[in-house]
């Protein structure tokens, strides 16, 4: 792994060593019930290049990867390998053809040793047909040494750090003659030192003519190691080209689907123009929220009567921050103050008692219970307050449910209809009602309008406006830039789990937000993590 490293360091200068196409998707489409995950997407990968695949949630990255690696079969279009059309029935067939995938969770057997994992299914045998462990350990050591990883081949895999486990997975992939390696967010749980090792290994792969598909949301990583980039959005192919010719702003705006030239306020959201009158003292103050690999020293304040937007790209720590505020994420450090009182132990129950309610991102998994009625779903969280000695007053329930169904304009046949039968927007309102009947002081909304239709969206947005107007402190997380800008009075932008900037007053605008997202705005000193150096 010596000569072609030059290309690794300066992707701008040259096309990768061998410019032949190894893997190609032609006009691939893939539909799932109710969703078009991939719509006529083409993608091509050259031998020896490191190709970034980027896009926001639901862009179709993982679907495309699954089509390429034999997990899914495309509904339309074809996959070609070195010019030949291929049809993989199982992931293993793709692997045999030379496409290996390194998953986020390492796909090896944790209890088995490093060497056994690398040679599983193709163990070296002695002349009696029995496994030759001496040779296996020797070859494992050689292989890993080549990657700059020095590890006892007898050690059980699960005793190693995630980074080293990934190296082992990579070593296995390379030793089964992989020609294409797919890496899905490989650095998301790595220490900076491990990241360096990984990058060195990737550079080595390039030297061997192995192509890498690299999925990541970390801009600086992409610009450091990738040659070309393909951007997907909403299942469609947006752009493919040399990464060096594309500045960060352009890249981010392509991912988010906003054109810099035409930033307009068209008022398509349900938010009223103009801000709210926020109070002077914060209802909730978080300082120094820290959790390994996810949050780094996040501090923010929330005032009654305002909507605070939380901006950031996928993986920037938005949902984690909301969860931390709601006591639903165990932290390594940081503290919360609500209404002047510091919360001693951060638990969900404690946060709810303190008046903090979280509307989670995934309402199907973490929120509604589809088999229960509207009434039951609404009063669920309020049960303790509605009951005396464990007996729940039905009359009180009915009163509350009636009030909220009217106030939030929940469209259901009646309070006894099953929530699973309602539309997405109405389900979301039921969830809102559940938390509102606790009379919270702080409402944390994680993607409150995702997956609901336009009309309901505007209604939910209007509601958020109303609630803030009534003095509630609202935290709004949204990937919809328009929603964020029009809905929020102030926006705190996260990047890589740390606060990257804050926009308030007249600065709350699309171009300003995009600049902070793309890392073009000055980062507040001391807030950026060390890994976030800007390689411009």
Partner 1 sequence: MNETTPAPVAAVPAPKKTPAPAGGGAPREEPAAETPLKQRLAELVQRQGVLAVLLAVILVASFVYPTFATLDNARGVTVQASFLAVVALGMTLVIITGGIDLSVGSVFALGGVLAAWASQWGFFTALLVPLVVCGAIGLLNGFLIARAGMAPFIVTLATLLAARGLLLALTDEGATTYLVPKDSVFAELGQGSVLGFGYPLLIALVLFGAGGVLLQRTSFGQSLFAVGGSSDAAGLMGLPVARTKILVYTLSGLLAGLAGALNAARLSSGVTIVGVGMELDAISAVVIGGTLLIGGAGSVSGTLWGVLLLAVIQNLINQIGSLNSSYQSVVSGGFLIVVVVAQRYLARSRRTT
Binding site for partner 1 (CB under 8 A): 5, 8-10, 91-92, 95-96, 107-112, 116, 120-121, 123, 129-131, 148-152, 154-155, 158-160, 164, 172, 192-197, 199-200, 203, 224, 530, 533, 535-536
> CA 412, CA 405: separation in Å to the nearest integer?
9
DSSP, collapsed to helix, strand or coil, labels residue 138 as: helix
Which residue, 44 or 95, has its beta carbon nearer to partner 1? 95
Single out the residue of 338, 298, 336 nearest to residue 318, CA to CA: 298
Beta strands in 312-414 (DSSP E): 333-338, 341-342, 356-359, 387-388, 391-392
DSSP 426-494: HHHHHHHHHHHTT--SEEEEESTTTTS-HHHHHHHHHHHHHHHHTT-EEEEE-S-HHHHHHH-SEEEEE
The DSSP bridge partners found for residue 80 are 24, 85
CB of 280 to partner 1, least distance (A): 39
- DSSP secondary-structure letter at 326? T
Which residue, 51 or 116, has its beta carbon nearer to partner 1? 116
Q: Which two structure tokens, joined as six digits, stand for 276?
A: 């709210």
Residue 247's contacts (CB-CB under 8 Å, 6 or more residues apart) are none
> CA 489, CA 475: separation in Å to the nearest integer?
10
> CA 180, CA 50: separation in Å to the nearest integer?
10
Which residue, 164 or 479, has its beta carbon nearer to partner 1? 164
Please compute, for residue 476, the number of CA atoms within 13 A of its CA located in the half-sphere on the CB side. 32
Q: Which two structure tokens, joined as six digits, stand for 250?
A: 């352009």
Single out the residue of 264, 211, 233, 250 nearest to residue 52, CA to CA: 211
- What's the Cα-to-Cα distance from 36 to each of 33, 74, 76, 480, rounded to whole Å? 8, 12, 12, 19
> CA 440, CA 472: separation in Å to the nearest integer?
8
Which residue, 9 or 511, has its beta carbon nearer to partner 1? 9
DSSP 237-266: EEEEEEGGGS-HHHHHHHHHT--GGG----
Contact indicator for 172, 121 with CB cutoff of 8 Å? no
Which residue, 66 or 450, has its beta carbon nearer to partner 1? 66
Residue 489's contacts (CB-CB under 8 Å, 6 or more residues apart) are 275, 276, 278, 306, 307, 308, 309, 468, 504, 508
Contact indicator for 350, 358 with CB cutoff of 8 Å? no
> CA 99, CA 81: separation in Å to the nearest integer?
10
Residue at token pair 């709810």: 352
CB of 197 to partner 1, least distance (A): 5
CB of 30 to partner 1, least distance (A): 21
CB of 458 to partner 1, least distance (A): 43
228-233 and 50-54 strand pairing: parallel
Q: Which two structure tokens, joined as six digits, stand for 498?
A: 């740390």
3-state secondary structure 291-321: ECCCEEEEEEEEECCCEEEEECCCCCCHHHH
The DSSP bridge partners found for residue 391 are 388
Please compute, for residue 124, the number of CA atoms within 13 A of its CA located in the half-sphere on the CB side. 11
DSSP, collapsed to helix, strand or coil, labels residue 382 as: coil
Residue at token pair 């830039």: 481
Q: Which two structure tokens, joined as six digits, stand for 337?
A: 């103050």
């Amino acid at each position: 792994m010596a000569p072609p490293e030059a290309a690794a360091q300066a992707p701008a200068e040259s096309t990768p060593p061998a410019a032949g196409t190894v893997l190609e998707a032609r006009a691939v489409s893939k539909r799932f019930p109710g969703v078009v995950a991939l719509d006529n997407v083409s993608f091509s990968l050259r031998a020896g290049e490191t190709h970034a695949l980027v896009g926001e949630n639901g862009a179709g990255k993982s679907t495309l990867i699954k089509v390429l690696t034999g997990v899914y079969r495309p509904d339309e279009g074809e996959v070609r390998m070195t010019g030949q059309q291929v049809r993989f029935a199982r992931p293993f067939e793709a692997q045999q053809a030379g496409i290996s995938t390194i998953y986020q969770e390492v796909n090896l057997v944790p209890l088995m040793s490093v060497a056994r994992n690398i040679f599983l299914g193709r163990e070296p045998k002695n002349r009696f047909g029995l496994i030759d462990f001496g040779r296996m350990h020797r070859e494992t050591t050689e292989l890993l040494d080549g990657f700059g990883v020095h590890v006892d081949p007898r050690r059980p895999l699960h005793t190693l750090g995630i980074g080293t486990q990934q190296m082992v997975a990579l070593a296995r992939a390379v030793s089964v003659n992989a020609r294409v390696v797919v890496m899905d967010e490989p650095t998301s749980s790595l220490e900076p030192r491990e990241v360096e090792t990984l990058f060195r290994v990737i550079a080595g792969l390039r030297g061997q003519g192995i192509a890498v598909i690299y999925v990541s949301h970390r801009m600086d990583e992409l610009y450091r190691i990738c040659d070309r980039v393909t951007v997907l959005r909403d299942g469609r192919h947006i752009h493919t080209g040399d990464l060096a010719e594309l500045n960060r702003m352009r890249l981010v705006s392509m991912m988010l689907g906003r054109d810099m030239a035409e930033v307009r306020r068209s008022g398509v959201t349900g938010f009223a123009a103009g801000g709210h009158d926020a109070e002077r003292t914060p209802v909730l103050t978080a300082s120094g929220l820290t959790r390994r690999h996810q949050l780094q020293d996040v501090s923010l304040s929330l005032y009654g009567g305002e909507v605070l937007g939380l901006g950031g790209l996928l993986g920037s720590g938005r949902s984690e921050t909301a969860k931390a505020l709601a006591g639903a994420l165990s932290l390594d450090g940081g503290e919360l103050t609500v209404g002047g009182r510091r919360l001693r132990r951060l638990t969900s129950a404690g946060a709810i008692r303190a008046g903090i309610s979280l509307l989670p991102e995934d309402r199907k998994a973490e929120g509604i219970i589809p088999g229960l009625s509207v009434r039951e779903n609404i009063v669920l969280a309020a049960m303790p307050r509605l009951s005396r000695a464990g007996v729940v007053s039905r009359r009180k329930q009915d009163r509350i449910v009636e009030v909220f169904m009217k106030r939030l304009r929940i469209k259901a046949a009646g309070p006894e209809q099953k929530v699973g039968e309602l539309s997405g927007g109405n389900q979301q309102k039921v969830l809102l009602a559940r938390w509102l009947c606790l009379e919270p002081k702080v409402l944390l909304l994680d993607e409150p309008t995702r997956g609901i239709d336009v009309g309901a969206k505007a209604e939910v947005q209007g509601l958020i406006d109303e609630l803030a107007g009534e003095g509630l402190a609202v935290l709004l997380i949204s990937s919809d830039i328009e929603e964020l800008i029009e809905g929020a009075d102030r926006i705190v932008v996260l990047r890589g789990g740390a606060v990257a900037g804050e926009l308030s007053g007249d600065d709350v605008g699309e171009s300003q937000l995009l600049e902070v997202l793309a890392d073009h705005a000055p980062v507040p000193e001391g807030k950026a993590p060390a890994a976030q150096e800007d390689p411009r």
